[in-house]
Structure 1
């Protein structure tokens, strides 16, 4: 999680450094910035170079993403990286907890629909009219994430 840090002045910004956020705490970074005479409101994250993601955020937001990676995903950054690449809102990223389901779409849909009663299942298929629309509706609602590794189901929805 190598953050590209920039500092801003009145009318422009300039690159300051790249920093591995996994190695340092937020407090350590803020202390170092203060030692260099850089105010908290003068620096920001403009992306993550190791993930090839350009996304402007505060240091606090970047460390909230780190907390998600460490707390929800046991140090695996894959889901957070995928959500950032899809330009999902910050609030959605930190309020989600995706768990790997399957590489197989059929098995994934079986798990998604496993708790439905027969009447609910019939209504569901009637409403969506087709398999692709059913899957797309779950993805659009944030219940399902399709990645190169397979399907992930949001455990918090």
Structure 2
């Protein structure tokens, strides 16, 4: 999780450094910045080099992502990377917890629909008219994440 750090100077900004957020706490970084005479509101993250993600965010937001990775995903940053690359809103990223379901679309849909009764199942297929629309609806609603590794279900939805 190597962040590109920039310093705001009036109406422009300049690159400061690349920083591995997993190695340092937010407090350590803020303390070091203060020692160098850099105010808290003057530096920000403009992306992550190792993830090939360009995205402007505050330091607090970047460390909230770190907390999310460590707390919800046991240190595996794959899902957070995917969500950032898809330009998902910050609030959606930290309020979701995706769990691997399957590489197989059929198994995934079976799991999604496993709690539905016969009438609800018929209504569901009638509403969406097709398999692709059904899957797309769950993806658009944030219940399902489709990646190159397979399908992930959102535990918090």
Q: Which residue does 2:18 correspond to in 1?
A: 18
Name the SS of the counterpart of 1:91 in structure 2: helix
Q: Which residue does 2:114 correspond to in 1?
A: 114
**How far apart, in 2, do the equivalents of 1:74 and 1:5 lie?**
25
1:1-150 equivalences under 5 Å are: 1-150=1-150
In the TM superposition, structure 1's runs of 4+ consecutive aligned residues that sit over 4 Å from their partners are none
Structure showing the higher strand proportion among its residues: 2
Shift of 1:10: 0.8
Shift of 1:91: 0.1
Name the SS of the counterpart of 2:55 in structure 1: coil
Name the SS of the counterpart of 1:55 in structure 2: strand
**How far apart, in 1, do the equivalents of 2:55 and 2:29 lie?**
19
**How far apart, in 2, do the equivalents of 1:11 and 1:146 lie?**
39
Name the SS of the counterpart of 2:110 in structure 1: helix
**How far apart, in 1, do the equivalents of 2:147 and 2:36 lie?**
41
Shift of 1:11: 1.6
Name the SS of the counterpart of 1:101 in structure 2: strand
Residues matched between the structures, number? 157
Q: TM-score, normalised by structure 2?
A: 1.00
**How far apart, in 2, do the equivalents of 1:25 and 1:58 lie?**
15
Shift of 1:152: 0.1
**How far apart, in 2, do the equivalents of 1:146 and 1:47 lie?**
23
Q: Can you list the C-alpha shifts for 1:104-156, whole angstroms capped at 9, x where unaligned? A: 00000000000001000000000000000000000000000000000000000
CA RMSD of aligned residues (A): 0.3
